[in-house]
Amino acid sequence: MELVMQRVEKYTAVLEDAVAEKTKELLTEQRRADTLLREMLPSSIVDKLRNKVIIEPEYFEAVTISFSDLPGFVTWVVTGTPYDVIALLNSIYSIFDEEISSHTLVQKIETIGDCYMVASGVPVPVGTEHAAAVCRLAKALQSAFSRSKLPEKGLSLRVGIHSDHCAASVIGSKVPRYCL
């Protein structure tokens, strides 16, 4: 009986170690998934989704939105391969994503082709700072773009900025997007 008890205790210790290791792996993967989700959606929206709160459309009184695009991109695309186009967009958006990470009042909303859209004042209102925050980012994007090798390809960066009210919400459930 004592031998059986020793085996059970040993087996229990092995199982406890295995469970602890799997729990550690699960927590690491959950953090990785959470980080990725917070890159795709605003943090406050992720928190609501995690708490199973239905995301209703919200009205925001004071928002500034900026669209950046590349005049001449369509002409450049005609001469490039699909691989070249994807590589170019990835290099541009990687530069922009790095730059926006230090502008806490501005949220990347989405990219569509050569258009990079950001906003301030959504989903968390920032008082009267929304326009200034977007303008600071626009100057930083222009500067980062100028330092890159992209102007050598005949490309330039155009930035448009608009302040007004808007509505915003998460659209879709398969590949949810925070849309304004």
Give the model confidence (pLDDT) of 65-96 as tens digits: 999 999 988 888 888 899 989 998 999 999 99
CA angle centred on 34, ends 33 and 40, rounded to 5°: 90
pLDDT-based confidence at 53, cuts 50/70/90? confident
Give the residue numbers spanning the domain of 30. Answer: 2-40
Could you tell me if 83 and 157 lie in one domain? yes
Asked if the structure places residue 73 within a domain, the reply is yes
User: Is 91 found in the same domain as 132?
Assistant: yes
Give the integer Cα–Cα distance in Å for 131 and 122. 12
How large is the average pLDDT for residues 19-30? 89
pLDDT band at 54 (very low <50, low <70, confident <90, very high): confident
The pair of structure tokens assigned to 77 is 């695309």
C-alpha distances (whole Å) from 162 to each of 16, 25, 106, 134 are: 58, 45, 14, 10
Full-model pTM? 0.81
137: exposed, middle or buried (Cβ count in 10 Å: 0-12, 13-18, 19+): buried
* Residues 6 or more apart whose Cβ sits within 8 Å of residue 154: 72, 76
Q: How many CB atoms lie within 10 A of CB 111?
A: 15
**Pair of tokens at residue 132:** 């200034």
Residue 72 lies in a domain: yes
Task: Report the CATH number at residue 77.
Answer: 3.30.70.1230
Q: Please write the tens of the pLDDT for every residue from 122-170.
A: 999 999 999 999 999 999 999 999 998 777 777 889 999 999 999 999 9
80 and 149 together in one domain: yes
Residues 92 and 32 in one domain: no
Q: For the chain, what is the domain count?
A: 2
∠ Cα 8 12 14 (to 5°): 120
Q: What is the pLDDT of residue 12?
A: 84
Q: Cis link prior to 123 (omega < 30° from 0)?
A: yes
- 106 and 23 in a common domain: no
Are residues 31 and 90 located together in one domain of the fold?
Answer: no
Confirm whether 47 is domain-assigned.
no
Q: Tell me how far apart the alpha carbons of residues 53 and 155 are, in angstroms, rounded to a whole number.
A: 43
Q: Which residue has the higher pLDDT, 47 or 163?
A: 163
pLDDT, position 105: 94
Q: Does some domain include residue 68? A: yes
Give a yes or no: residue 146 inside a domain.
Answer: yes
Tell whether 123 is covered by a domain: yes
Residues 98, 166: one domain? yes
Percentage of the chain lying above the pLDDT 90 cut: 55
The span from the CA of 105 to the CA of 169, in Å, is 18
**Domain co-membership, 121 together with 94:** yes
Whether residues 30 and 80 share a domain: the answer is: no
Distances in whole angstroms, Cα of residue 117 to Cα of each of 143, 165, 166: 17, 16, 14
